[in-house]
Structure 1
Amino acid sequence: MYTPEWEIEELIAQNPGLLGYPFRRLKLLERQKYLKKVGRYIDLLFKQGDYYLLVEVKSNFVDDKSVILNQVIPYKKALAEELGVQEDKVLCTIISPIGFSKEIERLCKEKGVVTKIINKSRLTYALKLSTKNRNLHAETRDIRTLSLNQSFENTHMKELANLFIRISNSAPIMAHEVYTGSNGVLTSNNDMWFWLFYSVMDRRANASTFIKAKEALERERLFAPYKIVNLVKIRGEKAALNKIAKILEQNNFPLLNDNKMGKLSFPKSIVDAAKFLGLYGYDFMCLYEAYVKKYNGNLKRARDSLWNDLQESIYGVGPRIASQIIRGLVLKGPWNLPLDDNKFLEKCRYNVWMAGNSRLGLIEDESEYNEKLGKFADDFLDGNRGIIAHVLWFIRKRYCNRPPKCRECPLNNFCLRASSLNFSAL
């Protein structure tokens, strides 16, 4: 089936996903843009961040060098001059539903022009949807199986990764600090103890209320871990648990009631955490150094051993919370442990939602979460998966809660929802 160039052009303008660009964050600037210097027209001009994408559409098999040498390359030079940007800020793609000769592919590779074949069956599918006035942007998601524009993909990923790093550096890690402007840095043993205290209770509870539990115990001079351990030594563990529970209840802090410990579940976690820290003189750097020394400086073995011991030693701490504890003390504290294991990605329904098609488009399906985000971390974040989990959590809490604050969000240039609302700051 023959498809005229104008119709292919129209479909791409409506749905940039046909280009195979993975995030569909291209903004269409102009169709048939006139270039005064060469007296010719660019079929499609898109923009992403600081980069421009020039798209030349052909409906036939491309085997004529003049298409590249007399059209695409001169268009690139003229456009860069007209826009006042360097030529390397203008990327070029030539589209054909049929294909390119080997000679043209070699020439395009030499000149930095990306060739893309839009599969006929995909194009036919898109055309059928178009005739039924269907939303091509949503209905042709499977077109992402096309080959990717490597230049754009790498640029996009690098920019996103750098933004993730900046956000993580400046964002807190505790829920009650999300709107305070705090960077969440843990500078003292008291700060780090609160992070451990906070984390061991972070299950089926509103984490933003944990500061109230801290304040309630401080008023009774029973927040410091050594005071908790002393209370256990003097009155016994059961009495200590009941006293902590009573203090929290009297201050209207909601206690978790589980099958094993009942209302003593949170107090048990707090006491166990204090005991664990007490083994290292209530000093977080001593704890860290003890594990590093035990494994002769092998940071991965030290990390994994600590991760297991946290679960075995503290009631209620499972894989997710153990990972959270370590992640926070690395990202915001003094520890230097690698966060290059997928357990630090914290795969949960909220993070899957943030990484998926409703927001950042980093994954297509929940099953890809660890694989795709792990690769993103390896390629662009030196393997640091903790940054990804931290940023997904913070952005969701700070900007995606109702009502969403898309205009303020630092990721709005990369978010599919913000793009659909025309909040992109391109």
Structure 2
Amino acid sequence: MTVNKNKIKLPLILSFLIFSMLLNSMGAIILQLSEKISYKGLGVLESFKDIPMAIVSLLFVNLIAKTGNKNALIFSLAFITVSCIALPIVDAFWFLKIWLSIVGVSFALAKISVFSIIKNNFEGKYLASTISSVDAAFMIGIFFINICFGSLLTSSYSAYWKYAFWVIALFSIINILILQPLKIEEATNYNSDKKSEQWKFFLTPKIVIFLIIVFFMVFVEQSFNSWLPSFFKNNLKLSSYFALQSSAFLALFSFFGRLITSRLILRFHWFRYVLVCLLIVFIILGISQVLISYFYKDFKFVLVFVMPIIGLFLAPLFPLYNSDVINKIPAEKTHILVSVIVIFSSLGSSLGSLYMAMIFHNNLSYFYPVFISLPLLIIFGLTFFLNKTSITDGRNQ
């Protein structure tokens, strides 16, 4: 079957853009509800999205493979279309929890499908480049959602902020129409191993190290994407509008970071690229903490510009780790690997949000850069082990 690679990339990019806007609306939701609900309570809210995401990833991975990646992706888009239309109509806090669960379930289906489609249709450095391009769309989604909500929440129509999700529903419908006629390669030997052998594969050292990195990587990203607006508002005393705009620029720099990476990864080895990015992130976090501790009054607004620059170097890390491992596994194991990635991502997201919630609850957000540096140090150390280990599967690969 001849497949047009560029036509495939477009709906995958749109899918991650859509789900990015949904998943990262939490920053605006936290700001809107922080006056009514404690930070401790808001930290738990994230789990309504992440726990269903993990459960679906674990239980439905083989079903996704059987029904086809394209069909699963279309279903996930249709599911969130209906829920986004219903969100402003059913204006109750309990439905927000249900909505978050639907978003989590749909994203689990979409992520497994998207990564499996990439694995089945791209290879080598082009696979790494495609993952970086798709993940770049995830970051631009964060930028759009923060810009839109920042403008909406400070306008005279702020009471109608939930109706913004109707626009996302429209994007989802358009993407379904683009995706439907496409012919996409599917793996045909996805169930060639017994379940016990499939899970044994994930006990190999490289996969274990990779999954720990995935956990802490999402842990760190969650600490930025959902809680940076609250840090700007609480510690820098910025309005909700400027707090969200600063977070939006974090996403914009993250977008450029992943976009640039999708080109540079064709020329440079992922390991060196990752180390350079991590070292620069540590430098920026160190500068930020020094400014907060000793030069707060004089350089308050410098922080608003310095901290978002982190996205330029932090954002490329996750797709680089993903592409290194996905490139080296058999195609039939892609579904189950991505499902486990989603599970560890969900755990990282939930615990990252709880971690930040406790820091804010105990008035320790003054040391925000330091607390983010701690999990990054673990990632830095594990990267060396990841690069040195190889994937063995008990079979000839």
Category of TM-score, reference length = shorter chain: under 0.3
* Larger fraction in strand: 1
Query: Could you tell me the TM-score, scaled by structure 1's length?
Result: 0.25
User: Which structure exhibits the higher relative contact order, with contacts defined as CA atoms closer than 8 Å and separated by 6 or more residues?
Assistant: 2
